Amino acid sequence: MSMRLLRRLPTPETLAQDVADSLVQRIEELQADGRVVELCLTGGRVANLAYEHLARVVSGSTLDPAQLELWWTDEAFVPTDDPRRNSLQALARLAGSFPLSPARTHPMPSSDASADPAQAALTYSTELDGSVIDICLLGLGENGHVAALHPGHPAAEPTSAVAIGVTDSPKPPAEQVSLTLATINRSREVWLFATGKEKADAVARTFRGDPTTISAHVSGVERTLWFLDDAAASQLPFHSCRL
């Protein structure tokens, strides 16, 4: 069974810093034998704060950005230059001081390149197929959703597909592309984060194993690591642990 760990931080800002610092440390460990690390990024305010901190601290570490294979958990199916794209937001924060390999950076297809979300998902499935994600980052939604997989939505139904096109998404934009739960759960490690009192109920339901939340079904093969600020963890007993 996958090990589940919890780190509890005072604020969203300290949480984002902890995510970034922990990520640098873990990637350094994984790269110690010279291998390429498969990292799957997500979107959202806290993720973007973490990427900003990551860009600041990577220069003082032994982490080699060129030895990272970058993927994304989900993406808005909009034009490439649309500011809502998670990949655009992440790369804008990392690019200045984080020399990534273009050949190893894999944004999800945009509406410029694909006819519809289903075609985009098929293209991404082909690209990702065969890769094993080492670390998959995920934010938690207020309704217990992760990536673009929402409770009760057809996109969250069990499937063996690698990625799926999403239409009529409860959270805009209406059309998106997402990794499936099966793909996420094949990751060696899954790191989830949530901040704010509005996430406290979803966090508590997840930790109780409420099957109506998508997040309760998420786990890494080797471990699942949660980062929560005090507000998001307010309905849980106090607990924290080290990596």
pTM: 0.95
Kindly list the domain boundaries of the chain, sorted by start residue.
Answer: 3-229
The answer to whether 120 touches 167, Cβ cutoff 8 Å, is no
d(CA 139, CA 55): 19
pLDDT tens digits for range 64-96: 999 999 999 999 999 999 999 999 999 999 987
d(CA 110, CA 126): 15
pLDDT recorded at residue 156: 95
- At 15, phi and psi to the nearest 5? -65, -45
Arithmetic mean of pLDDT, 36-52: 97
CA dihedral sign of residues 12, 139, 8, 133? negative
pLDDT at 239 over 70: no
Q: What is the CATH number of domain 3-229?
A: 3.40.50.1360
> pLDDT band at residue 237, thresholds of 50, 70 and 90?
confident
pLDDT tens digits for range 149-177: 999 999 999 999 999 999 999 999 999 99
